[in-house]
Structure 1
Amino acid sequence: MFLQLAVMVGAIALGSRRGGVAMGLWGAVGVFVLATVFGVAPADTSGIVDVMLIILAVIMAAAAMETAGGIDYLVGVAERVIRRNPSRITFIAPVVSWLFTLGAGTAHVFYPLLPVIHDVAREGGVRPERPIAVSSIAATVGITASPVSAAMAAMIVLFDKDGWGLPKIMAVAVPATLVGVLVAAAVQSRVGKPLEQDAEYQRRLAAGELEPVPGPEVTPALDPLAKPNPLPPRAAWSAYLFLLGTAAVVLSGLFPSLRPGAADGKGPLSMAATIEILMMAVAALILLVCKVDAKKIPGSDVARSGLVAVIGVFGLSWLGLSFIGANEHRITDALGGVARSQPWFFAVMLLVLSALLFSQATTTKALMPLGVALGIPAPLLIAMWPAVNGYFLLPTYGTFLAAINFDRTGTTRLGRFVVNHSFMLPGLVTVTVSVLTGFGIAELLA
C-alpha cells in the first residue's frame, strides 16, 4: 500500500512541477505503474466521464460567451460596482469576485478585476493587499458554490443518487462560502499597516517606481459597451444567455418535473445529462444569436483552461480512484474510526491534498469517494466540501501569482518562509468559517 501511495504522490509531484495538462498526463502514468507493477485494476471511468462531459459542455458555453465579448461585458459591470464604493472595497471586491465565479463557474474570469481592485484601493487610501488577497480567495471559493463549475459537476455525479442533488448542495455551499468570504473580509480589513506607513510602498514612491495617486476627480459612469474599447454589439446578449442557462440548470435541480423523462421510464433525466444538454444548447444559441465565429472558440482562454481541467480530472481522478479501490479496506480500517468520530480530520485531508492537486474538481472526484468509503454521511461531506480550496497553502497557483504581480505597491507579497504570504490568513479564515457554517446548515437540512 505504501509503495502504491508513493507512486501516486510521485505522479502528482511530477505533474505539479510542469503544471497544466502535465498533471493529468502524469496521473495516467501513475495508473500505468499501478497496473503493471502492482497489478492494480484501473478504476471504472464511467463516473469520471460524466464529470468530463459536464465540464466540456459548460466550457463550450463559457468559451462562446467569451468569444462574443460577454466576459468583457461582465467585467465592465463588476468594475462599475467596485468603483462606486471605494472606501468599502475590502468588502465589496471579494463579494463581487465571489459572484463572478459563482456565475461563470471558473476563477479565470477574475483576472481582469485585479487591476481595478488595485487602482481603486490605492486611490481610496486602502492598503491594496487587503482587498486583493481576500478577493483572490473569494474567486477560488466561489467555484464550490457555482452550479456550473467542474467541481459541482463532480459533486452532483457522486451525491445526486443519495438525495443530495444540486439544490441541497447549493443550499449548503452558497451561504457557507459567502459567510466565509465576509468574515475573512472583516479580518482582512485590519491587516497590515496603512499605505502611508508602509516602508516598501514609500520606498517605491520615493524611487519613482510609482506615480503619485491622482487627485480627486469625478469618475465617469462606466458603460461596458462604451468606447475607447467598444465590445461586439451583442456582447451583453451572450452574457445574458449564459446566465439564463445557469438559471435553467438551477431550476432543473430545484424542480425535477421540468426535466424530460428518461428513456428507461425511471423518472426525470439525470442532472448530469440535463446540465450537458442545457449548456451545449446555450453555446449553440450564443453562436446563433451573437453571430460568433465558431472557429475562434477553441482558441479562447476559457476553452484552453477547460482542456487543462478535463485532462486533469481524467488523469488524476483515475489515479486516485484506482489507488483507493485497490486499498479501500486498508484505508477504512486505518482511518475509518477517526474520520467518523472526528469529521474535521477529513476536511484537513481535503485542504492539504487540494494544495497538491491544484483543482477543486480533481480533489473532489479523487477524495470524496474515499469519504464515502470511510462511512462519513453525505451531509457532512458536503459541509466539508469548501476545504478543497487549499490552493493558497502554497501560493504557486496562477490566481495568486497574478495578484502579487498586479499589486505595484508591493503590499501583496510572498513571505520569506513561503507559507507566510498575503493569502494564508484570508484563505484559512474563509475555509474554516465556510466549513463550520456548512456543518450547521447541513444539520438543518439532513
Structure 2
Amino acid sequence: MEMLMLILQVIVLLGAIFVGIRLGGIGIGYAGGLGVVILGLCLGMKPGAIPWDVILIIMSVIAAISAMQLAGGLDYLVQIAERILRSNPKYINYLAPTVTYFLTILAGTGHTAFSMIPVIVEVAKEQNIKPSAPLSIAVVASQIAITASPVSAAVVYMTGALEPLGWSYPLLLAIWIPTTFIGCMLTAFVVTMFSNLDLSSDPVYQDRLAKGLVKPAVGAQNMQLKEGAKLSVGIFLIGVLAVVLYATAISKIGGKPVFIENVVVPRDAAIMSFMLGVATFITILCKIEVGKIADSSVFKSGMIACVCVLGVAWLGNTFVDGYKTQIGELSSDLVKQIPALLAVAYFFAATLLYSQAATAKAITPVVITALGISVANPGDSYMIVASFAAVSALFVLPTYPTLLGAVQMDDTGSTRIGHYIFNHAFLIPGVLAIAFSVILGFVAVAFV
C-alpha cells in the first residue's frame, strides 16, 4: 500500500511538472499549485513550506531593476556590454558569458541576459560564428552566476544556512565567485576548441538564408540614453555595495561578528529593504513614472518567475517534506561514500524545482540533518559549499525563459531544440560548466 501511494505521488509530482512545461511560462507555477492540491487532498500529503523569503527577495530585487530599466539604466549597461563584445569580436565565446555572468552577479537575476541575446547574435553573425556557441555558454553563465551573486535569493539562503557552521559570507563569496566564473571560462574553451563554429557550414542556416529568414547584421547600435540612465546605474551599484558591506558586517568569522554584534536587521530583510530603497531613490532622483514600472519587461519576467517559484517550489517542498526521513537516510549513505553525489542530487532537484534558491532550500536542510552536520560538528559542510553551483541546472529541460529567448532570437537557426527535447544547444555546455564549477569548488574548500 505504501509503495502504491509513493508511485501515485511521484506520478503527480512529475505529471504536474510535465503539464507546466507544456503550458510554458507562468503555467509552470500554475501546474505546481495544482500538484499541491492533488497531493494534499487526494493523496494525504501535508503541504510543504512556501519559500516566502525566496519569493520576496526576488520581488524586491526585480522592483529595483525594473526602476533602473525604466530610467534607462539597462540600456546603458547593454551599451557598455556591446562595446566590450565588439572590441574583440573573435573572442565572443569568452566575452559573451563574461558579460552575462557579471550582469547576473550585479543584478541577482539571470533575466538580465535577455537584453544581451540580440547583441550576441549580431556580433556572432558578423564573425561567421554560429550564435549557438556564445549564446549557449552565455545563458548557462547567467544561471550559474546566481550561485555567486551577493544579492541573489539562493546565495542569501545558503550563507544563512552555512554561517553557523563556520563559513562566513565573504569567505563563501570568495569561493563561489572565482570557481563558477573559471568554470564558465573553461566551458567556453572546450566549446571553442571542439565545436564546429563555422556558421556558413550549417545547413539549417543556409536554408533559412535562402528563404530570406535571416536578417543581415546591422552593426553597432547607438541608443539614445535617457537623462537619468547613468545615475540609475550608479544608485543601483551603491545599493549592491551596501548589501555586500552590511552582510559582511553582520557575518561571523570564527564565531565572532565582523563588526555588528547585536543584529537588528537580518540579512534577508536588509537585502529586501535596501533594494526597495534603491528603487525609491531611482524613482525620485531619475524622475521616472512609477505607473509604468509594471509594464517593463524585467518586472513582467520577474513576477512570472515569482509565481513559478511559488508553484513548483511548493510542490517540491511538499514531496520532499513527505519523505524527508527516507531521503535523508539515502543521501547520508551515498554522500558519505562519494561527496560529489551531493552535486548530483542538487542537479536533478534543480531540473524539477526550476529555481536555484528553491532547490537549495529544499535539499540543504535534509542533507545537513542526514549527515549530522551541526555547529559542534561542521566537518562535512564543505560538501555543501563545493556542490552549491549544481543548483543551477535549470537548462536541462528547454523551458527556462532566457533559454527560449535565445532560441527565438537566433534567426540563423543554429540555436535550436532537437526532436528528443534534451538534445538542445544548452545541455552539454551547462553540464560542463557545473562539473567544472563543482570540481573547482572541492579544490577550493580543500585549501580553506
TM-score (norm 1): 0.87
Does residue 1:243 correspond to 2:248, yes or no? no
Moved more, 147-156 or 77-86: 147-156
2:196 aligned to 188, 192, 199, which one? 192
2:313 aligned to 317, 324, 327, which one? 317
Does residue 1:30 correspond to 2:24, yes or no? no
Letter aligned with residue 202 of structure 2: D
Letter aligned with residue 119 of structure 1: E
CA contact (8 A) 1:30 1:319 kept: yes
2:431 aligned to 417, 428, 438, which one? 428
Q: Indicate the residue corresponding to 1:345 in structure 2.
A: 341
1:354 aligned to 326, 339, 350, which one? 350
The superposition leaves residues 113-140 of structure 1 with CA deviations (integer Å, 9 ceiling, x where unpaired) of 1221122122223332221221121122
Give the superposition deviation at 1:169: 2.9
Does residue 1:419 correspond to 2:422, yes or no? yes
1:186-225 → structure 2 map (5 Å cutoff): 186-190=189-193, 191-210=195-214
Letter aligned with residue 63 of structure 2: M
Q: Indicate the residue corresponding to 1:234 in structure 2.
A: 228
What SS does structure 1 have at the residue aligned with 2:395? Answer: helix
Q: Indicate the residue corresponding to 1:255 in structure 2.
A: 249
Does residue 1:296 correspond to 2:292, yes or no? yes
Letter aligned with residue 152 of structure 2: S
Q: Indicate the residue corresponding to 1:101 in structure 2.
A: 104
- Whole-Å Cα distance in 1 between the matches of residues 240 and 182 of structure 2? 22
Letter aligned with residue 199 of structure 2: L
Letter aligned with residue 309 of structure 1: A
CA contact (8 A) 2:340 2:383 kept: no
Letter aligned with residue 17 of structure 1: R
Unaligned runs of 5+ in 1: none
Give the superposition deviation at 1:207: 5.0
1:18-417 → structure 2 map (5 Å cutoff): 18-45=23-50, 48-190=51-193, 191-210=195-214, 229-256=223-250, 266-267=262-263, 269-375=265-371, 377-417=380-420
Question: Cα gap change, 1:303/1:200 in structure 2, threshold over 3 Å: closer, same or farther?
Answer: closer
Identity of aligned residues (%): 37
Give the superposition deviation at 1:435: 0.8
What SS does structure 2 have at the residue aligned with 1:96? Answer: helix
- Whole-Å Cα distance in 2 between the matches of residues 415 and 58 of structure 1? 34
Question: Cα gap change, 1:318/1:133 in structure 2, threshold over 3 Å: closer, same or farther?
Answer: closer
Matched residue pairs, number?
431
- Whole-Å Cα distance in 2 between the matches of residues 317 and 414 of structure 1? 26
Unaligned runs of 5+ in 2: 374-379
CA contact (8 A) 2:250 2:259 kept: no
- Whole-Å Cα distance in 2 between the matches of residues 123 and 391 of structure 1? 30
- Whole-Å Cα distance in 1 between the matches of residues 44 and 200 of structure 2? 63
TM-score (norm 2): 0.87
- Whole-Å Cα distance in 2 between the matches of residues 321 and 77 of structure 1? 41
Give the superposition deviation at 1:289: 0.8
Moved more, 84-93 or 116-125: 116-125
- Whole-Å Cα distance in 1 between the matches of residues 231 and 55 of structure 2? 27
CA contact (8 A) 1:260 1:269 kept: no
Give the superposition deviation at 1:167: 2.2
The superposition leaves residues 46-86 of structure 1 with CA deviations (integer Å, 9 ceiling, x where unpaired) of xx222222222212111111111111111111011111111
